[in-house]
Amino acid sequence: MKRGCRPIVSVDGCHLTRPHKGVWLSACGIDPNNGMFPICYCVTEDEHKRSWTWFVELLIEDIGIYEQEKWTIISDRQKGLLPAIYELLPRIEHRYRVKHIYDNFKKEHHGLSLKDKLWGAARATHVNQFKAEMDALKKLDEHAYKWLAEINLTHWTKSYFRTSPKCDLLLNNLSETFNSVILDARIKPLIGMVETIRIYLQKRLQAKREYIEKYDCSICPNIQGKLEKLKDQSRICISSHAGGGKFEVRDMFGGRYAININEKTCSCRGWDLT
């Protein structure tokens, strides 16, 4: 996992119902093909700080989260998880799932326009773009603007994310995908549940190994698909060589960006983030 996955971990918790009570805690990574890579899971009696602290302590030890500045965690801001993260991993980047933020936002602030501005601000990759989206939100609804501005920007907008994980996730899709595929297993008695999940993961990992061994390309298939989409999108851009590995790129909407091929950077930060 440490050799292949990026240094970003999605953590999640969900309540179990019948035939047993408790809380399911899990952590998932993202593999080189942008796929879910389950790291660990457990069942605890509750979702309080003591359970999350125990879980995070084991996670730190298992995957070696020692240089905290190089790692990122994404979560739904669970009450017990937040103090555990602040206590054990104070220097790690902690992203909040934007859908969870929006679910709380829309309870007080309704309308498609406000939703679009929130997501526009979250998806903005550089500060000027973020400020433009927030200014537009403020003009629409100042109370909505203040509500959103109270959340630390480093937790929810790409424009303030670190570039070290090479992953610009705004959602907790990794954990949600894992939880959805084990849904049938979660209705079984405890031992049967964890055994069913263990067997599922064993088969899944082996199938992934066999598939990639037969795959005859140096770029993973999902990443190749993203590159093909980016090729189509680049039709609206014109590039000018500025010497060495440096280029100026202009798009039809008036955007102008500086790109350094050698350093793999762009002034829009989109390349740096991914």
Give me the pLDDT at residue 253, please: 86
Please report the pLDDT score of residue 171 as a whole number: 86
Check: CB of residue 7 under 8 Å from CB of residue 169.
no
Closest to 200 (Cα-Cα) out of 212, 186, 213, 221: 186
- For residue 149, what are the contacts with CB-CB under 8 A and spacing of at least 6? 134
Calculate the CA dihedral of residues 40, 44, 48, 52 and round it to 10 degrees: -20
The pLDDT score that the predictor gives to residue 173 is 80
- H or E element at residue 257: strand 256-260
> Of all helices (H) and strands (E), which one includes residue 228?
helix 221-233
Phi and psi at residue 93, to the nearest 5°: -80, 125
Q: Which residue ranges make up each domain of the chain?
A: 8-181, 233-273
**Residue 175, C-beta contacts closer than 8 angstroms, at least 6 positions apart:** 10, 11, 12, 26, 27, 28
DSSP letters for 3-47: TTS-SEEEEEEEEE-SS--EEEEEEEEE-TTS-EEEEEEEEES--
Rounded average pLDDT per 10-residue block, the chain, 274 residues: 86 80 90 90 89 95 92 92 95 95 95 96 96 97 97 96 93 82 83 90 93 91 93 93 95 92 94 93
